[in-house]
Amino acid sequence: MTKQWQEITHNIKAIYGNKDIVLLHEPTFSETEIEYVTDCIRTGWVSSVGKYVDEFEKRLAEYTGVKRAVAVVNGTAALHIALKIAGVQANDEVFMPALTFIATANAVSYLQALPHFVDVTEQTMGIDPVKLEEHIREIGEINNGHLINKWTGRIIRAIVPMHTFGHPVDIDALIDICKRYNLVLVEDAAESLGSYYKGKHTGGFGLVGALSFNGNKIMTTGGGGAILTNDEQLADYAKYITTTAKIPHRWEYRHDEIGFNYRMPNINAALGCAQIEKMNDFLTEKRQLTQKYQTLFEQIDGVDLFIEPTFGTSNYWLQTIILDLDKHNRDDVLDVLNKNGTMARPIWTPMDELIPYMDCPKGDLSVTYELNKRVINIPSTPIRVGKSTHE
């Protein structure tokens, strides 16, 4: 097996121009980013006020097809505020996949609510709507218009689907569940900028959605995130509480509730304005990389490339392989790839296995546990980038 994966490492490096080390996902910049950021510095408007913040929010809303976007400091902050303005309260429970990045669970915890972990499908690695409904029928009851967890007595307030590695989850089925059980849909679209479900951009299906622009995302603002919504009042409120809930005044500092210092700095938004101009190129190059990986792995027995579902279009943010455990051991593969200069990572540890979340409510997570043993992310930077700039 070692020799086979050494050869795979060699082939991956060839895709990237035979670099000595191929990282998992690098940001890609050009002169446009330098121009916009330099303009921001020269004007002196580098913090939370400036023209680039407003412009970036406008471009994001247009790109994703929602009415409003509110830029914030990171994707976790975006999800935190999205859940807050969606009405999640202390001691509520919130359905989410057990197979997700910890930020999804942390954002719920910031509101003193509890994650309620549910299983995923192998097709999307996102919430399995069939198993979710079976779980609800087992543990839930409607009381005074709320879904109540009979085992804990707590209100289950919302569902947070996450579009894993950019692959859209089956949103229509989850919307139907929300309607039947009076749940709020809050999309964790942190990984899925540029992904579409049945022709509509992810992040715009629920009451609110959240994006991330971390340095390893398909486009970046360095750090950063955004709240998406079609509700103008919610957008105004999100913007208000992410800027410390300061009452507008020419000079006085008055605040009428606890707010958050979550506003995206202007200098980060300047970077975002340049990056979003290249989104179509990034998406094209991601698909070109996918095609190369399909050619590579179709020749390897016991390895499947994770491909977008039939109902969606993925941004292919992180390229992902799924191993047949009878033929390949995940940790052995990770060891060979990384030792030979090809960065690879396992999928996240299931949330219920992490110390802060071991006692949270959960359903059957058999698919989550199985995928955890089999999934590996491999280098995913757009393939035209064999250097540090984007032509």
The CA angle 241-213-290, to the nearest 5 degrees, is: 150
Beta carbons of 187 and 193 less than 8 angstroms apart = no
Residue with tokens 């919610």: 234
Rounded to an integer, what distance in angstroms lies between the CA atom of residue 182 and that of residue 296?
A: 46
Rounded to an integer, what distance in angstroms lies between the CA atom of residue 281 and that of residue 218?
A: 11
Rounded to an integer, what distance in angstroms lies between the CA atom of residue 369 and that of residue 384?
A: 35
Residue with tokens 């486009």: 219
Residue with tokens 């999640």: 88
Amino acid at the residue 50: G
- What are the residues facing 116 on neighbouring strands? 95
Q: Measuring CA to CA, which residue among 79, 17, 97, 49 is closest to residue 388?
A: 17
The helix, strand and coil proportions of the chain, stated in percent and rounded to the nearest 5, come to: 40, 20, 40
Rounded to an integer, what distance in angstroms lies between the CA atom of residue 383 and that of residue 7?
A: 19
Rounded to an integer, what distance in angstroms lies between the CA atom of residue 132 and that of residue 96?
A: 10
Residue with tokens 């035209």: 384
Q: What are phi and psi of 256, to 5 degrees?
A: -110, 5
Instruction: Name the E strands within the chain.
Output: 68-72, 93-97, 114-118, 140-143, 146-149, 155-159, 184-188, 196-197, 200-201, 208-212, 225-229, 303-305, 312-313, 319-323, 345-346, 375-378
CB atoms within 10 A of CB 70: 31
Active site residues: 217
Rounded to an integer, what distance in angstroms lies between the CA atom of residue 210 and that of residue 230?
A: 13
Rounded to an integer, what distance in angstroms lies between the CA atom of residue 213 and that of residue 183?
A: 28
